[in-house]
């Protein structure tokens, strides 16, 4: 099974790992588009005013321009530890034992805007770039990533893909139609049977789901396997 997670806008600063090596990240077929986006983001960061405008940064977030300027030289953290926010706080990867973190390394990709999908334990630096941002001199991120990511997932030949990404990041690399997959939406059912999408609790539930998968070192090869595992683990699942 392959699990696709979205990134988070909020990130831990600093790091202790070696500087970014784009060619060593998961899905090495994506090295060329990674290099294009990294180069464009570093070049943009040479002009703080322009970078702040393109990235829509407030005055208190201007330090993120320097983060982008240092993409190739800054210390790294495992991607699953770099990101913070509701989903990643619920996942709480830092508290998992070694076998559970090994499961994350083997099964989880986090879909970033500058690097594409990276392995959960791949080292990445702090950065600022959203899925909707248009970088000067490049086509849209969707045009850069979508087909390339879909091909890379196809070439990885997973038995089953659990897509936990937001719609914005799913658009940056749709799961190949020929691969068995499930897209996760978290909803609440009212007394009258109507369902509504959640926001904060949507992210929290997704983080808890992936944490449980890692803790149980789940072996899932199909949608039916997922349903069986989820019900046994206490998650209510259904089509729709």
| Structural domain boundaries in the chain | 2-232
Predicted confidence at residue 236, as pLDDT, reads 78
Predicted confidence at residue 116, as pLDDT, reads 98
Rounded Cα distance, 15 and 73, in Å: 11
For the chain, percent of residues with pLDDT exceeding 70: 93
Predicted confidence at residue 202, as pLDDT, reads 86
Predicted confidence at residue 200, as pLDDT, reads 58
Mean pLDDT, rounded, for 131-146? 97
pLDDT at 199 over 70: no
């Amino acid at each position: 099974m392959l699990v696709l997670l979205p990134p988070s806008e909020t990130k831990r600063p600093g790091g202790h790992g070696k500087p970014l090596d784009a060619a060593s990240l998961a899905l090495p077929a994506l090295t060329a588009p990674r290099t294009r986006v990294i180069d464009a983001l570093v070049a943009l960061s040479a002009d703080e005013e322009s970078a702040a405008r393109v990235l829509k940064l407030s005055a208190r977030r201007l330090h993120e321009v320097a983060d982008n300027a240092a993409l190739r030289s800054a210390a790294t953290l495992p991607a699953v530890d770099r990101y913070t926010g509701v989903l990643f706080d619920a996942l709480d990867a830092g508290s998992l034992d070694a076998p559970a973190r090994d499961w994350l390394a083997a099964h989880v990709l986090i879909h970033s805007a500058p690097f594409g999908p990276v392995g959960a334990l791949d080292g990445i630096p702090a950065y600022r770039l959203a899925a909707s941002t248009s970088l000067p001199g490049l086509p849209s991120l969707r045009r850069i990533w979508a087909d390339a990511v879909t091909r890379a997932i196809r070439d990885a030949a997973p038995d089953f893909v659990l897509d936990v990404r937001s719609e914005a990041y799913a658009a940056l690399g749709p799961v190949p139609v020929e691969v068995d997959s499930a897209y996760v939406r978290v909803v609440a059912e009212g007394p009258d049977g109507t369902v509504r999408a959640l926001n904060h609790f949507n992210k929290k539930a997704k983080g808890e789901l992936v944490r449980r998968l890692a803790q149980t070192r789940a072996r899932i090869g199909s949608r039916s396997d997922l349903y069986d595992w989820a019900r046994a683990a206490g998650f209510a699942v259904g089509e729709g």
